[in-house]
Chain A
Amino acid sequence: MSEKGTGIAIDAAKLKEIEKIIEKHKNEGGALIPILHEAQDLLGYLPEEVQKMIAKGLNISLAEVYGVATFYSRFKLNPKGKYNIQVCLGTACYVKGSDKVLAKIEETLGIKTGETTPDGKFSIESARCVGACGLAPVMVVNEEVYGKVTPDMVKDILSKYE
């Protein structure tokens, strides 16, 4: 992690919010994870600057904050795309071919799972189980759920977000 962090400026009002979040949970047992959740809900990811604030606020080392943030797959250290695509790779979706849907999306967008397109528009994630197994295979774009997806449908779905 570089000293300058990600280089994206975070707006001051949001930093104030983060201060408030830290203050609210500070004296609870196990405060770190709830704080990380709320900070990420606010910013979409956990920039280094914010991790430092949290470390200071809880009087723990940055290494501990970073260690926890990287242990859990839900916490992101980099911003996601405007449209975040999740493809479910839970067992029910996998046996019905969701890996082929994922491959098609990667091919169409020219990026790999875990990456964001250079224009910041799309990012791809694999999900463990969305829980909509009745609709398998499932892909989710932001909050919108698409069920019974085949590789042929990928192009049409993505074109809605162009």
Chain B
Amino acid sequence: MKSLEELNEIRTKTAEKLGIRMGKQVDIGKKNILICCGTGCTSSKSPKIIEEFNKQIKEKKLEDKVEVTKTGCFGLCARGPIVIVYPEETFYTHVKPEDVTEIMEQDIIGGNVVERLLVKEGETSDQIAHKLHELGFYKKQMRLALRNCGRINPENIDEYLAFDGYEALQKVLLEMTPEQVVETMLASGLRGRGGAGFPTGRKWDFARKVTADQKYVCCNADEGDPGAFMDRSVLEGDPHSVLEAMAIAGYAIGASQGYIYVRAEYPIAVERLKIAINQAREYGILGNNIFGTDFNFDIDLRLGAGAFVCGEETALMTSIEGKRGEPRTRPPFPAVKGLFGKPTILNNVETLANVPQIIINGAEWFKNIGTEKSSGTKVFALGGKIKNTGLVEVPMGTTLREIIYDIGGGIPNGKEFKAAQTGGPSGGCIPKEHLDTPIDYDSLMAIGSMMGSGGLIVMDEDNCMVDIAKFFLEFTQDESCGKCPPCRIGTKRMYQILERITEGKGKEGDIEELEKLAQNIKRSALCGLGQTAPNPVLSTLKYFRDEYEAHIKEKRCPAGACKGLTKYHINPDLCKGCGLCARNCPVGAITGEVKSPHTINTDKCVKCGLCMSKCPFKAIEKK
């Protein structure tokens, strides 16, 4: 338990030490090596890099001169593992444990940058970015929810305290009434970052006005959209910001208990949350009589178990209660009757990560960022066919083109952009003609997609849009909880139709059947996930109807992605008759005389593509 004075002392002391990371020209006679330990970089062995640095620092007796800090995600996952050396802010990428010796000797001891490991942007290698903020990737970004990711050690509460940590909670408890907190949230215009965009302040207001002996604050960290990892990165990089926001919410609505429902598939996030909760309890920031007031608040973790539907608010609460995670009908809304039958609010991780900043800087400040109806920033997990895969945070209103080309670096291998998918299984595909749409909740809805939680998958000319629609329907029909028939049976039927279209067995009327099913499911499914499940089909039908028609009428996949519709054949002008393909064909479908062009028996061919990869003359073509 720490007093306010003690906390302030920790803040000042740690801030002095960390000043070099804030760009302050302070000389503390020390270098600080920051190493990303998010899931991406950890998978490419960043913990080994830390180990190696520490070993060499010890061997060279440099403990007083160099400090190694593990951090959360810097965002540029495509170039991980990432290492930054302060005070110079030198940004090293693709670092391997073997590179540590060179960094130690040349940079840390010698004072010269290891150029080989810097980022070379653009086509020519003369555009070298030395520092983090010089990178094109970061120039258009604005990091609010991710402000501490890659800046602090997430396992050290003192570092969080040094960067205004728990000051918002302090301000709320000592200077504001619950009504004022809710008013601030309402005025800020913050909307839920989990997908639907419901105003956070209104949610809090409903729950505050209900009288009950017990209320709950829940955090939705069950990030289920495939290809989305925004929330995971916040939890891994800055867990305390979520705890702080939950305590603020607890004070605002009158709750004393919080639950974080987090995916068990995120072991690093779970571990760091546990550490953070324990540290906050130790400092008396969670528990009874926080900051000497009569406010009590504590937080427990609940692990998800791999059910996508549990991202839906009522299903999540049913799951915390230890049952099958099936959604409930609303009303009653959770703000009136939620977890264990008590008034409950549920906010997503990224939403919560914004809260402390809004309290400290004021609603006006936040309102001025972004667009009129969507204030603030949004984090996107940029993935798929894009050069700079990673995590980006931009003000609302930034266009897709800016995100994909200026920040994401465009499409690799000289391929053509085809579509961007937002909103995961509830969202849609956005074609080229809408690249200049400013991204906010309402404009994405208007073009048939949705903000969703922030997955942004880029697809190029090689991706078949019917196949992508099938991919998402396969997902939703598999993840359907089974409670309501429109979702349980309807998505399965849609999937079966898509399956036969991609196999070349589509028939006249299939498109109309898909549309009819989609409308019915949208109208009649019980929960938000079911109601939005047809979106991937509807949006691809809207913008890529010709691809569906080519599959059905011409039995042709324009992208060459659907195996059932591709045919291999040997170009007789290029074939030299070497026989390599025939020897490798697993089903003996290729025949021909030596030194004369071979042929493929398409009835026998299983379309494995082995012949194509083996042919030294590129004579085998896929159509």
Binding site for B on A (CB under 8 A): 29-34, 36-37, 67-68, 71-75, 89-96, 127-136, 138, 145, 147, 152
Q: Given A91-B471, A92-B457, A129-B226, check contact A37 B321 (CB 8 Å).
A: no
Q: Within 8 Å CB of A152, what residues of B?
A: 613
Separation of A132 and B389 alpha carbons in the complex (Å): 10
Inter-chain contact A30/B307, CB cutoff 8 Å = no
Inter-chain contact B229/A133, CB cutoff 8 Å = yes
Inter-chain contact B303/A33, CB cutoff 8 Å = yes
Q: Within 8 Å CB of B306, what residues of A?
A: 72-74, 128
Inter-chain contact B381/A133, CB cutoff 8 Å = yes
Q: Given A34-B302, A132-B43, A135-B44, check contact A91 B457 (CB 8 Å).
A: yes
Inter-chain contact B266/A91, CB cutoff 8 Å = no
Q: Within 8 Å CB of A67, what residues of B?
A: 324
What's the nearest-Cβ distance from chain B to residue A85, in Å? 15
Q: Given A91-B455, A132-B40, A134-B390, check contact A30 B305 (CB 8 Å).
A: no
User: Chain B residue with minimal CB distance to A126?
Assistant: B478
Separation of A73 and B43 alpha carbons in the complex (Å): 23
Mask: chain B, 292-317; 1 = CB below 8 Å from A; 0 = not: 00000000001111111000000000
Q: Given A29-B322, A133-B381, A135-B43, check contact A91 B227 (CB 8 Å).
A: yes
Counting chain B residues whose Cβ lies within 8 A of the other chain, the interface size class is 35 or more
Binding site for A on B (CB under 8 A): 39-40, 43-44, 77-78, 80, 224-229, 232, 264-266, 302-308, 319-325, 340, 381, 383-385, 389-390, 421, 424, 455, 457, 459, 463, 468, 471-472, 475, 481, 613
Q: List 7 A-B contacts (CB under 8 A).
A: A33-B302, A68-B323, A72-B305, A92-B227, A134-B78, A134-B390, A147-B44
Inter-chain contact A129/B322, CB cutoff 8 Å = no
Inter-chain contact B302/A30, CB cutoff 8 Å = yes
Q: Within 8 Å CB of B613, what residues of A?
A: 152
Separation of A107 and B43 alpha carbons in the complex (Å): 26
Neighbour of A133 across the interface among B44, B389, B459, B481, CB < 8 A: B389
> Which 10 A-B pairs give the minimum distances between C-beta atoms?
A134-B77, A92-B383, A72-B305, A91-B227, A30-B322, A90-B226, A74-B306, A145-B43, A73-B306, A32-B322
Inter-chain contact A71/B325, CB cutoff 8 Å = yes
Neighbour of A33 across the interface among B226, B322, B481, CB < 8 A: B322
Neighbour of B305 across the interface among A31, A74, A93, A135, CB < 8 A: A74
Inter-chain contact A134/B305, CB cutoff 8 Å = no
What's the nearest-Cβ distance from chain B to residue A119, in Å? 24
Separation of A119 and B227 alpha carbons in the complex (Å): 34
Inter-chain contact A33/B319, CB cutoff 8 Å = yes
Inter-chain contact B302/A131, CB cutoff 8 Å = no
Q: Within 8 Å CB of A132, what residues of B?
A: 39-40, 43, 77
